[in-house]
């Protein structure tokens, strides 16, 4: 009896004191914002604690991975702030630092590991969704885009002004500009125009001292670092200015599905590896490799497992030129003229986002996107073609695993012309294609999660002989905490940072550390995989 009583008392005391603590954190934070010239009337509209009724809906609005949506094991922010003007962001940085809390920054919330809205230590979440203005200069062919805009809004607004101007970035319209661009940003025009950051002209960022800096004010080292080094290690990105690219009136799209029962399918995959990164830069052919269940045609017979190879293409030109390229260089694809659909660039954006061909461009303005599934992604880079025999063993492995898929994204073209040190993103010359390992599931709970995570890790491990080594390279925007994390509770370690840092940035890691040490020596802008500083840091907690 008395033990239970004591337990209840403790429980009550704990919840009381944590409420009191939350209240005092809130009061201190609000007080600090006021001192940093944000009027009380603005503060009351943009600062949320768990006591505010809409706290949960604000938090969940941009959780884009089902794994973290209903999770009771992931911790929530102490405070959420949703600035509506850029100057408020400066106040949030200064006051979070003063409270000695971690700051997590979220733009579109597409981080595959959820690290823009989850942490193991108490944190404030800065949510950028209100800052999403887009201004386009069609004469100068440039666009300023705030971090909270999603790619679909960017594409739509450019198309409204000119159907022959485009923005080279990712294929999923709900991805946020803030995380996407500062992590490099790639899409189906990569071979022609490079990454989004290869077309970056300027940026505005809030630094650790709460100053708003443009490219000139931040200097070329910091500007270099945010071109793929991940914004969250260096400051809060407010906006990016991009050089727009010129597109033809008509582009061509195709999607061809093949199955490995057809014995020429594996030969086509071999040929794709030799061709996709070398063919005309106007052509981008993505290849999806997925295990599928084939229903038997005869009644009562068992269904069997197979592998489907889906070739999805964007060609910046018409179907006649496309057919001539493919028949000369990639005959094993067996492409037919009727597979090729000519359309405007904006319709190709909708096709690549898996909308049906009756969908209007306004669909790109939908910020909610598809219903959530549970996601895990991993990445690899391939430098030498995988021989046919090895492909067959990979396919057999995938069939035995059951659900893990792979997406092959070709490089070459413009990517090979840009030096490794030009931006922090190092995966340039010599890369044939990038692999994205993908696992989607619907079942909630830890049992399902454990099974699916182990499947995708098993496939990743099986692929070791065929992918880049020393380091085994990975793409920052395909966030994968399996490849190494830094300390959250004690000080960040340079050596732990080097483990994931060289995978994401290769030789550029050291320069990123130098820039980091220069602009944020106390390591305020930190997360599970941020760039560590050179020198010993003050203990944070």
Ligand X SMILES: Cc1cc2nc3c(=O)[nH]c(=O)nc-3n(C[C@H](O)[C@H](O)[C@H](O)COP(=O)(O)OP(=O)(O)OC[C@H]3O[C@@H](n4cnc5c(N)ncnc54)[C@H](O)[C@@H]3O)c2cc1C
Q: Which residues form the interface with ligand NAG (CB under 6 A)?
A: 44-45, 47-48, 52, 66, 69-70, 341, 357, 372, 444
Which of the ranges 28-36, 112-120, 295-303, 357-365 carries the binding residues for ligand X, by CB under 6 A?
112-120
Q: At residue 291, what are phi and psi to the nearest 5 degrees?
A: -75, 135
Which of the ranges 135-143, 155-163, 182-190, 271-279 carries the binding residues for ligand X, by CB under 6 A?
182-190
CB-wise, 341 or 453, nearer to ligand NAG? 341
CB of 169 to ligand X, least distance (A): 7
List the single partner that 341 binds among ligand NAG, ligand X, none, CB under 5 to 8 Å by kind: ligand NAG
For 199-222, b/e burial (b = at least 16 CB within 10 A) is bbebbbbbbbebebbebeebeeeb
Q: Where are the alpha helices (DSSP H) in 171-250?
A: 177-182, 190-193, 215-225
Question: Using H for helix, E for strand and C for coil, what is the string for 261-310?
Answer: CCCHHHHHHHHHHHHCCCCCCCEEEEEEEEEEEECCCCCCCCCEEEEEEE
Q: What CA–CA distance (Å, rounded) separates 296 from 489?
A: 55
Position of tokens 């022609």?
Answer: 192
CB of 377 to ligand X, least distance (A): 8
CB of 356 to ligand X, least distance (A): 18
List the single partner that 326 binds among ligand NAG, ligand X, none, CB under 5 to 8 Å by kind: none
CB-wise, 139 or 338, nearer to ligand NAG? 338
CB of 47 to ligand NAG, least distance (A): 6
Size of the site for ligand X (CB under 6 A): 33
Asked if 236 interacts with ligand X (CB under 6 A), we say yes
Q: Which residues, 437 to 496, sit near ligand X by CB under 6 A?
A: 477
Asked if 132 interacts with ligand X (CB under 6 A), we say no
Distances (CA, A) of 129 to 82, 119, 519: 7, 20, 26
Q: Where are the alpha helices (DSSP H) in 483-533?
A: 494-505, 508-519
With CB under 6 A as the contact rule, the residue among 77, 91, 108, 405 that binds ligand X is 108
Position of tokens 């200015």?
Answer: 241
Which of the ranges 99-107, 153-161, 327-335, 416-424 carries the binding residues for ligand X, by CB under 6 A?
99-107
Which of the ranges 39-47, 110-118, 424-432, 492-500 carries the binding residues for ligand X, by CB under 6 A?
110-118
Asked if 107 interacts with ligand X (CB under 6 A), we say yes
Helix (H, G, I), strand (E, B) or coil at 363: helix
CB-wise, 372 or 499, nearer to ligand NAG? 372
Asked if 111 interacts with ligand X (CB under 6 A), we say yes
Contact 65, 374 (CB under 8 A): yes
Distances (CA, A) of 428 to 277, 422, 480: 11, 10, 20
Q: What CA–CA distance (Å, rounded) separates 476 from 229?
A: 8
CB-wise, 237 or 288, nearer to ligand X? 237
Position of tokens 């630094």?
Answer: 207
| Residues noted as catalytic | 478
CB of 188 to ligand NAG, least distance (A): 19
CB-wise, 69 or 466, nearer to ligand NAG? 69
With CB under 6 A as the contact rule, the residue among 66, 77, 91, 109 that binds ligand X is 109
Asked if 81 interacts with ligand X (CB under 6 A), we say no
With CB under 6 A as the contact rule, the residue among 166, 168, 170, 532 that binds ligand X is 170
CB-wise, 245 or 372, nearer to ligand NAG? 372
Q: What CA–CA distance (Å, rounded) separates 205 from 90?
A: 9
List the single partner that 444 binds among ligand NAG, ligand X, none, CB under 5 to 8 Å by kind: ligand NAG
Name the DSSP letter for residue 442.
-
With CB under 6 A as the contact rule, the residue among 168, 176, 210, 413 that binds ligand X is 176
For 83-95, b/e burial (b = at least 16 CB within 10 A) is beebebbbbbbbb
Two tokens, residue 437: 């390992």
CB-wise, 375 or 483, nearer to ligand NAG? 375
* Residue 205, strand partner residues: 213, 237
Asked if 171 interacts with ligand X (CB under 6 A), we say yes
Q: Which of 230, 228, 200 is nearest to 215 (CA)?
A: 200
Residue 51 CB coordination number (10 Å): 10
CB-wise, 179 or 385, nearer to ligand X? 179
Binding site for ligand X (CB under 6 A): 64, 104-112, 115-116, 128, 147, 170-172, 175-176, 178-180, 182-183, 185-187, 231-232, 236-237, 477, 527
């Amino acid at each position: 009896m008395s033990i239970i009583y004591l337990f209840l008392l403790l429980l009550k005391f704990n919840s009381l004191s944590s409420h009191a603590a939350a209240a005092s954190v809130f009061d201190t934070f609000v007080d600090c914002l006021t001192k940093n010239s944000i009027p009380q009337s603005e503060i009351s509209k943009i600062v949320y604690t768990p006591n505010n009724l809409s706290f949960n809906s604000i938090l969940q609005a941009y959780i884009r991975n089902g794994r973290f949506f209903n999770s009771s094991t992931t911790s929530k922010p102490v405070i959420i702030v949703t600035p509506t003007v850029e100057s408020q962001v400066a106040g949030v940085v200064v006051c979070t630092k003063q409270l000695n809390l971690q700051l997590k920054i979220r733009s579109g919330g597409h981080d595959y590991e959820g690290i823009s809205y989850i942490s193991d230590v108490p944190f404030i979440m800065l949510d950028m969704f209100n800052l999403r203005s887009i201004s386009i200069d069609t004469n100068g062919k440039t666009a300023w885009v705030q971090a909270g805009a999603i790619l679909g809004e960017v594409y739509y607004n450019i198309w409204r002004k000119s159907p022959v101007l485009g923005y080279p970035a990712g294929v999923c319209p709900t991805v946020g500009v803030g995380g996407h661009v500062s992590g490099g940003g790639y899409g189906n025009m990569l071979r022609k125009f490079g990454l989004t950051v290869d077309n970056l002209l300027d940026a505005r960022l809030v630094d650790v001292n709460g100053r708003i800096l443009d490219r000139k004010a931040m200097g070329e080292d910091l500007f270099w670092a945010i071109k793929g080094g991940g914004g969250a290690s260096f400051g809060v990105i407010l906006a990016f200015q991009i050089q727009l690219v010129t597109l033809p009136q008509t582009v061509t799209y195709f999607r061809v599905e093949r199955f490995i029962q057809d014995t020429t399918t594996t030969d086509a995959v071999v040929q794709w590896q030799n061709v996709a990164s070398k063919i005309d830069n106007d052509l981008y052919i993505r290849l999806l490799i997925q295990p599928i269940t084939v229903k038997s045609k005869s009644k009562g017979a068992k269904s069997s497992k197979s592998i489907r190879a889906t070739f999805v293409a964007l060609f910046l030109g018409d179907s006649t030129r496309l057919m001539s390229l493919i028949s000369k260089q990639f005959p094993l694809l067996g492409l037919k003229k009727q597979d090729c659909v000519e359309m405007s660039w904006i319709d190709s954006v909708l096709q690549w986002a898996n909308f049906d061909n009756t969908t209007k461009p306004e669909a790109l303005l939908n910020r909610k996107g598809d219903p959530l599934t549970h996601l895990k992604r991993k990445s690899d880079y391939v430098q030498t073609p995988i021989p046919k025999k090895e492909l067959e063993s990979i396919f057999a492995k995938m069939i035995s695993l059951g659900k893990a898929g792979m997406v092959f994204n070709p490089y070459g073209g413009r990517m090979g012309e840009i030096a490794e040190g030009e931006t922090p993103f190092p995966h340039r010359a010599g890369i044939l294609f990038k692999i994205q390992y993908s696992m989607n599931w619907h079942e909630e709970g830890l049992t399902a999660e454990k099974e699916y995570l182990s499947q995708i890790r098993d496939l990743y491990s099986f692929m070791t002989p065929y992918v880049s080594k020393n380091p085994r390279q990975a793409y920052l925007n395909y966030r994968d905490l399996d490849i190494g994390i830094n300390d959250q509770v004690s000080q960040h370690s340079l050596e732990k940072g080097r483990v994931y840092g060289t995978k994401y940035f290769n030789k550029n890691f050291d320069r990123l550390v130098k820039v980091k040490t220069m602009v944020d020596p106390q390591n305020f802008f930190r997360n599970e995989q941020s760039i560590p500083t050179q020198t010993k840091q003050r203990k944070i907690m």
